Protein backbone atom coordinates (compact mmCIF):
# COMPACT_ATOMS: atom_id res chain seq x y z
CA UNK A 1 0.00 0.00 0.00
CA UNK A 2 2.82 2.39 0.84
CA UNK A 3 4.41 1.73 -2.55
CA UNK A 4 1.15 2.63 -4.28
CA UNK A 5 0.86 5.93 -2.39
CA UNK A 6 4.49 6.77 -3.18
CA UNK A 7 3.96 5.93 -6.85
CA UNK A 8 0.90 8.18 -7.11
CA UNK A 9 2.69 11.06 -5.37
CA UNK A 10 5.73 10.75 -7.62
CA UNK A 11 3.66 10.57 -10.81
CA UNK A 12 0.91 13.13 -10.27
CA UNK A 13 2.16 15.74 -7.82
CA UNK A 14 4.29 18.39 -9.50
CA UNK A 15 7.39 19.34 -7.58
CA UNK A 16 8.36 23.00 -7.50
CA UNK A 17 11.82 24.49 -7.39
CA UNK A 18 12.22 26.11 -3.98
CA UNK A 19 15.26 27.80 -2.45
CA UNK A 20 17.11 25.89 0.22
CA UNK A 21 15.84 27.32 3.52
CA UNK A 22 15.75 26.07 7.09
CA UNK A 23 14.54 27.11 10.53
CA UNK A 24 15.66 30.63 11.45
CA UNK A 25 15.65 31.95 7.89
CA UNK A 26 13.47 34.90 6.93
CA UNK A 27 11.50 34.20 3.77
CA UNK A 28 8.70 35.75 1.73
CA UNK A 29 6.04 33.46 0.27
CA UNK A 30 3.98 34.82 -2.63
CA UNK A 31 0.71 32.94 -3.08
CA UNK A 32 -2.57 33.33 -4.94
CA UNK A 33 -5.84 34.16 -3.20
CA UNK A 34 -9.09 33.43 -5.02
CA UNK A 35 -12.07 35.57 -4.10
CA UNK A 36 -14.96 34.51 -6.30
CA UNK A 37 -13.87 35.33 -9.86
CA UNK A 38 -10.90 37.49 -8.81
CA UNK A 39 -7.39 36.16 -8.30
CA UNK A 40 -4.81 38.25 -6.49
CA UNK A 41 -1.32 37.70 -5.16
CA UNK A 42 -0.58 38.11 -1.48
CA UNK A 43 2.69 37.68 0.35
CA UNK A 44 3.58 36.44 3.82
CA UNK A 45 7.00 37.45 5.16
CA UNK A 46 8.34 35.96 8.36
CA UNK A 47 10.75 33.64 10.13
CA UNK A 48 10.67 29.91 9.42
CA UNK A 49 9.82 28.10 12.66
CA UNK A 50 10.08 24.57 11.30
CA UNK A 51 10.09 22.27 8.29
CA UNK A 52 8.17 19.05 8.77
CA UNK A 53 7.67 15.92 6.69
CA UNK A 54 9.35 14.57 3.59
CA UNK A 55 8.69 14.44 -0.11
CA UNK A 56 5.42 15.77 -1.42
CA UNK A 57 3.80 16.05 2.01
CA UNK A 58 6.46 18.38 3.41
CA UNK A 59 5.25 21.56 5.14
CA UNK A 60 6.89 24.61 6.67
CA UNK A 61 5.66 27.04 9.31
CA UNK A 62 6.30 30.79 9.13
CA UNK A 63 5.81 33.25 11.99
CA UNK A 64 5.48 37.01 11.66
CA UNK A 65 4.45 39.80 13.98
CA UNK A 66 1.36 41.73 12.97
CA UNK A 67 1.44 44.67 15.36
CA UNK A 68 1.76 43.05 18.78
CA UNK A 69 0.13 39.77 17.75
CA UNK A 70 2.15 36.82 16.47
CA UNK A 71 0.71 35.16 13.36
CA UNK A 72 1.78 31.71 12.17
CA UNK A 73 0.91 30.07 8.89
CA UNK A 74 1.63 26.55 7.67
CA UNK A 75 2.33 26.09 3.96
CA UNK A 76 2.71 22.79 2.09
CA UNK A 77 5.83 22.85 -0.10
CA UNK A 78 3.89 21.71 -3.18
CA UNK A 79 0.88 24.00 -2.75
CA UNK A 80 -0.27 24.95 -6.27
CA UNK A 81 -1.21 28.46 -5.08
CA UNK A 82 2.41 29.30 -4.16
CA UNK A 83 3.95 31.40 -6.92
CA UNK A 84 7.42 31.82 -5.50
CA UNK A 85 9.45 31.66 -2.29
CA UNK A 86 12.07 34.34 -1.73
CA UNK A 87 14.92 33.90 0.76
CA UNK A 88 15.52 37.26 2.47
CA UNK A 89 17.95 36.44 5.31
CA UNK A 90 19.66 33.32 6.54
CA UNK A 91 19.59 33.02 10.30
CA UNK A 92 21.85 31.11 12.64
CA UNK A 93 19.93 28.94 15.10
CA UNK A 94 20.90 25.79 16.93
CA UNK A 95 17.60 23.93 16.64
CA UNK A 96 15.63 22.49 13.71
CA UNK A 97 12.34 23.61 15.26
CA UNK A 98 12.48 26.91 17.09
CA UNK A 99 9.26 26.80 19.09
CA UNK A 100 10.99 28.83 21.84
CA UNK A 101 10.88 31.78 19.42
CA UNK A 102 7.16 32.18 20.20
CA UNK A 103 7.89 33.26 23.76
CA UNK A 104 10.57 35.82 22.95
CA UNK A 105 9.88 39.55 22.67
CA UNK A 106 11.93 42.64 21.97
CA UNK A 107 15.67 42.33 21.49
CA UNK A 108 15.62 38.69 22.56
CA UNK A 109 13.55 37.84 19.49
CA UNK A 110 16.35 38.74 17.09
CA UNK A 111 18.10 36.00 15.13
CA UNK A 112 21.74 36.44 14.18
CA UNK A 113 22.18 36.69 10.41
CA UNK A 114 24.61 34.55 8.43
CA UNK A 115 26.13 36.19 5.37
CA UNK A 116 25.40 34.41 2.09
CA UNK A 117 28.15 33.55 -0.33
CATH of the domain at 22: 2.30.30.790
* Model-wide pTM > 0.75: yes
* pLDDT tens readout for residues 6-61: 787 777 767 778 889 999 999 999 999 999 999 999 999 999 999 999 877 899 99
10 part of a folded domain: no
- Domains held by the chain: number: 1
Rounded distance between C-alpha atoms, residue 14 and residue 115, angstroms: 32
Specify if 9 maps to a domain: no
Domain that holds residue 54: 15-102
The confidence score (pLDDT) of residue 1 equals: 78
DSSP state string for the chain? -HHHHHHHHHHHSPPPP-----TT-EEEEEEEEEETTEEEEEEEEEEEEEEE--GGG-EEEEEEEETTEEEEEEEETT-TTEEEEEEEEEE--S-SS-GGGGG--GGGG---EE---
Task: Give the model's confidence band at 105: pLDDT under 50 very low, under 70 low, under 90 confident, else very high.
Answer: confident
pLDDT at position 117, please? Answer: 64
Residue 3 within a domain = no
Amino acid sequence: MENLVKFVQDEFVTKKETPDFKAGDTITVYYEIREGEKVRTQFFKGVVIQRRGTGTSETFTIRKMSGTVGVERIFPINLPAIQKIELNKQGKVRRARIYYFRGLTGKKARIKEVRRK
